[in-house]
């Protein structure tokens, strides 16, 4: 989407390779923390980590400052997914919804397992092959509850709002109707993709059945709540880096305050309000001035 750009560092498919995100001012930002969860009403932002048909397992580096995209490493070796017959690499544009987090300390009532310590994953099913680090707006259609080595690993099914056929997709049943076999292939891919590495097949809750749009959005909202607890230090992030550029997130909460979706009572400070105040610790590092809200007044923190 307009306003975001990428900057690659080092050679692709190397241990040093990174993709950093920038905002419209050219400032480095975190794709995990700084990009708002919502792109528009009923539209979520998606950070593309892996373009369709590619094999390199790229992901947001949650433990690195600014959380750039990098290739996953296992036992010192770069990770690639195998070509599982009849598939070539990833069969969707694969990525994550920013400002979400699957809490490893939270036991999910639907799966009976804790979260995988990452932002929630998205499989984008549109016709375009997206670029690594691209930020797109997606319409959520449904969700699959995968259990990966004992951890909850939700897989959101979505379509790019700019896709020519996006208007025809409004729920998971539309995928079944318009792309017959695609959801079955998705389950098959996720079930077997680790088998070539000598690992067992993955399992699924709900008998590997996809849940609908409303269910999916509820799950996404719950992971957003877990993310808010993470960045306000209400829960243990277990090494996750919450260092980011504070201005973008602050602006988002300014708008929420103005719209009335954040309120503060006399003896109560909301998590969002505390998040605004937490930005003060970054001022000396980034040499910026930020406006925060206190006692219903604008106060400049210097």
**Structure pTM?**
0.82
C-alpha distance across the termini of the chain, in Å: 33
Task: Check residue 254 and give its pLDDT.
Answer: 47
Q: Along the 302 residues of the chain, how does pLDDT read in single tens digits? A: 669 999 999 999 999 999 999 999 999 999 999 999 999 999 999 999 999 999 999 999 999 999 999 999 999 999 999 999 999 999 999 999 999 999 999 999 999 999 999 999 999 999 999 999 999 999 999 999 999 999 999 999 999 999 999 999 999 999 999 999 999 999 999 999 999 999 999 999 999 999 999 999 999 999 999 999 999 999 988 899 997 765 444 555 544 544 444 554 433 455 555 455 444 333 333 333 333 333 233 333 22
Task: Check residue 246 and give its pLDDT.
Answer: 54
Task: Check residue 270 and give its pLDDT.
Answer: 52
- What the chain holds in terms of domains, given with CATH numbers, is 29-232 (3.90.80.10)
Task: Check residue 238 and give its pLDDT.
Answer: 81
Task: Check residue 55 and give its pLDDT.
Answer: 98
Task: Check residue 244 and give its pLDDT.
Answer: 72
């Amino acid at each position: 989407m307009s306003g975001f750009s990428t900057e690659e560092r080092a050679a692709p498919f190397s241990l040093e390779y990174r993709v950093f995100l920038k905002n419209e001012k050219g400032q480095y930002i975190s794709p995990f923390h700084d990009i708002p969860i919502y792109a528009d009403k009923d539209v979520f932002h998606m950070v593309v980590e892996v373009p369709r048909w590619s094999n390199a397992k790229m992901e947001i580096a949650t433990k690195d400052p600014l959380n750039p995209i990098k290739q996953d490493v296992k036992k010192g070796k770069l990770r690639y997914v195998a070509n599982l017959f009849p598939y070539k690499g990833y069969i969707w544009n694969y990525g994550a919804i920013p400002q979400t987090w699957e809490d490893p300390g939270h036991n999910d009532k639907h799966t009976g397992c804790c979260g995988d310590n990452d932002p929630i994953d998205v499989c984008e099913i549109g016709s375009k092959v997206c670029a690594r680090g691209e930020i797109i707006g997606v319409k959520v259609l449904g969700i699959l509850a995968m259990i990966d080595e004992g951890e909850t690993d939700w897989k959101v099914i979505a379509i790019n709002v700019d896709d020519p056929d996006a208007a025809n997709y409004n729920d998971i049943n539309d995928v079944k109707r318009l792309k017959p076999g695609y959801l079955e292939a998705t389950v098959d891919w996720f079930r077997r993709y680790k088998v070539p590495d000598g690992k067992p097949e993955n399992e699924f809750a709900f008998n590997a059945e996809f849940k609908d749009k409303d269910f999916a959005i509820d799950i996404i909202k719950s992971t957003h709540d877990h993310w808010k607890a993470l960045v306000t230090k209400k829960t243990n992030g277990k090494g996750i880096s919450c260092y980011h550029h504070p201005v973008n997130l602050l602006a988002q909460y300014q708008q929420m305050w103005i719209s009335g979706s954040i309120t503060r009572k006399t003896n109560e400070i909301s998590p969002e309000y505390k998040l605004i105040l937490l930005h003060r610790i970054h001022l000396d590092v980034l040499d910026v001035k930020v406006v925060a809200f206190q006692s219903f007044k604008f106060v400049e923190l210097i």
